[in-house]
Structure 1
Amino acid sequence: MGRYVARRLLQLIPVFIGTTFLIYLLVWALPGDPFAGKCGERPCPESFVAVMREKFNMDDPLFIQYGKYLLNLLQGDFGETFSGTSVGTLISNAYPVTIRLALIALLFEALIGVIAGILTGLRGRGFMDNLVLVSTLFLIAIPTFVTGYLVQTVFGLQLGWIAPTVSGNASWGELLAPGFVLASVSMAYVARLTRTSIAENKRADFVRTAVAKGQPQHRVVGVHLLRNSAIPVVTFLGTDLGALMGGAIVTEGIFNINGIGGLVFRSIARQEGTTVTGVVVLLVIVYLVMNLLVDLLYAVLDPRIRYD
């Protein structure tokens, strides 16, 4: 196991360099003048533009720019915005909120999606199965901004059960409704994925053998069936954490959450390439770490998998 982890960590290095370079290339190769509108209605003086281009290494070849950025990144320096604000400070203020929101959404996915998938997968066709299939199809078909608007209007403005917007502190309780909205589409996919996996594995030989040995139903389902069926679900949940954090722009906008989504949206509108690059680099790190953890969980869920 130790050798496998060390090998995987070494494999993450070229993946990290390759993905961050592509991100840097796509962000800084966008057409347009990044200094347009930075000096009000008048164009910025040439002296100011020259100083800013030198500060952000914009006159260097792209490979040299990326090399300097990567060296600073390895030292924990995410750079500065055009206004002189530290990108690291912006991220440290916005990232904890988005992490809490994504974790709540992931919890909704795991609980509701997996439970619904298990119930329908074990019982087969019937009222519950049809109800879950129709409900998940309904969630998948409706855009997230529509779901968020309905939850905000019905439960926030009409019934008064939740706050229509989230305060600056963004406590765990305030993020429950936005977390459910953020998780709605992925929750539907988890339910369908769990249902399909349970339905396939309950006819497998190892399940029939466990039943033939007279093992209790809860042990057959919990130990044999569920563990083997959880591998594709765990894969989806592990990789979905980064997607939830990166895709929270709409949800954060609806509930007025000051998180990563709003930060990225404002940075794109202002052509703040340093901020966009820093946020996406952190999302890449989340994806890589979660992918490694998911691979390690495979050996826990399925005893046939061994990392020698």
Structure 2
Amino acid sequence: MGRYILRRFLQLIPVFFGTTFIIYTLVWAIPTDPFAGKCGQRPCPASYIEVMRAKFNLGDPLIVQYFKYLGRLLTGDFGETFAGLSVGKLISTAYPVTVRLALIAVLIEAVIGIGAGVLTGLRNKGFLDNLVLVSTLFLISLPVFVTGFVLQIVLGVQWHLISPTVSRAATFGELIVPGFVLGSLSMAYVARLTRTSIAENRHADFVRTAIAKGQPTKRVVGIHLLRNSVIPVLTLLGTDLGALMGGAIVTEGVFNINGIGGQIFRGIQDKEGVLVTGIVTLLVLVYLLASLLVDLLYAVLDPRIRYD
């Protein structure tokens, strides 16, 4: 196991450099003027543009710019926006909110999605099975912003069960409904994937052997069937954590949440390349660490998997 962990860490290094270089290139190699509109209605003075280009190393070749940026990034310096705001402070303010929102969404995906998938996988072709299939198809067909607006209007405006917008504190209680909206699409996929996996494994040899030994139904389902069926679901949930953080732009916009999604949107809108690069690089690290954690959990769930 130790050698496998070391090997996986070493594999993360070229992936990190490759993905961050692609991100940096896509942000900074676009042939547009990054200072357009920074001085109001009139063009920026040449002296201002010269100072800013020197500050952000825009006169250097792209590969040199990247390594200078990466050197600062590895020391914890995310740089500054064109307005002089610290990107690190902007991230530290917005990131905890998005992390809470993403964790709630993943928890909802796991509990509701896996629970519905197990029930329908064990009792397929019944009323409950048809109900879950129809409801998940409905969620998959609806855009996330439509689900968000519907719940916001019904629960917030008409029934007054929630606040239509989330406060700046963004407590866990306030983020439950936005978390459900954010995770609704993935929850539907988790339910369908779990249902299929359970239905395939319920007639496997190891399940029949456990039943023949007289083990209780709960143990057969929870220990033998579920642990072997949840591996593809775990892969989806693990990699979905980073996707939820980066894809929360619409949900955060609907519920007025000041998170990472809003920062990315404003960074793209204002052509703040340093802000966009810093946030997306952080999301890359989340993806890589989540992928590593999922790989390590495989052996825990399925003893047949061996790394050494």
1:30 aligns with 2:30: yes
Partner Cα separation in structure 1 for residue 244 and residue 31 of structure 2: 28
**1:88: which partner in 2?**
88
Partner Cα separation in structure 2 for residue 126 and residue 219 of structure 1: 23
Amino acid at match of 2:155: F
**2:307: which partner in 1?**
307
1:147 aligns with 2:147: yes
1:258 aligns with 2:258: yes
Partner Cα separation in structure 2 for residue 180 and residue 255 of structure 1: 12
**1:271: which partner in 2?**
271
In the TM superposition, what are the counterparts of 1:1-308 in structure 2 within 5 Å? 1-308=1-308
Partner Cα separation in structure 2 for residue 259 and residue 301 of structure 1: 34
Instruction: Name the SS of the counterpart of 1:36 in structure 2.
Output: coil
Instruction: Name the SS of the counterpart of 2:140 in structure 1.
Output: helix
Superposition deviation, residue 218 in structure 1: 0.7
Superposition deviation, residue 29 in structure 1: 1.4
Superposition deviation, residue 113 in structure 1: 0.3
Instruction: Name the SS of the counterpart of 2:230 in structure 1.
Output: helix
Partner Cα separation in structure 2 for residue 156 and residue 278 of structure 1: 35
Partner Cα separation in structure 1 for residue 122 and residue 213 of structure 2: 20
Superposition deviation, residue 215 in structure 1: 1.0
Per-residue displacement from partner, 1:17-64 (whole Å, max 9, x unpaired)? 000000000111123211011111110001100110111001110000
Partner Cα separation in structure 1 for residue 197 and residue 232 of structure 2: 8
- Tell me the TM-score normalized by structure 1: 0.99
Per-residue displacement from partner, 1:140-190 (whole Å, max 9, x unpaired)? 000000000000000000000000000011011000110010011000000
Amino acid at match of 1:118: V
- Tell me the TM-score normalized by structure 2: 0.99
Amino acid at match of 1:90: L
Larger CA deviation: 186-195 vs 212-221: 212-221
Amino acid at match of 2:158: Q
Partner Cα separation in structure 2 for residue 252 and residue 218 of structure 1: 40
Partner Cα separation in structure 2 for residue 217 and residue 184 of structure 1: 30
Partner Cα separation in structure 1 for residue 167 and residue 124 of structure 2: 44
Instruction: Name the SS of the counterpart of 1:170 in structure 2.
Output: coil
Amino acid at match of 1:58: L
Partner Cα separation in structure 1 for residue 257 and residue 100 of structure 2: 11
Per-residue displacement from partner, 1:259-304 (whole Å, max 9, x unpaired)? 0000000000000000000000010000000000000000000000
Partner Cα separation in structure 1 for residue 282 and residue 197 of structure 2: 32
Stretches of structure 2 that go unaligned for 5 or more consecutive residues are none
Larger CA deviation: 26-35 vs 281-290: 26-35
Larger CA deviation: 24-33 vs 54-63: 24-33
Partner Cα separation in structure 2 for residue 262 and residue 295 of structure 1: 31
Amino acid at match of 2:166: V
Partner Cα separation in structure 1 for residue 259 and residue 219 of structure 2: 43
Amino acid at match of 1:187: M
Amino acid at match of 2:153: T
Instruction: Name the SS of the counterpart of 1:59 in structure 2.
Output: coil
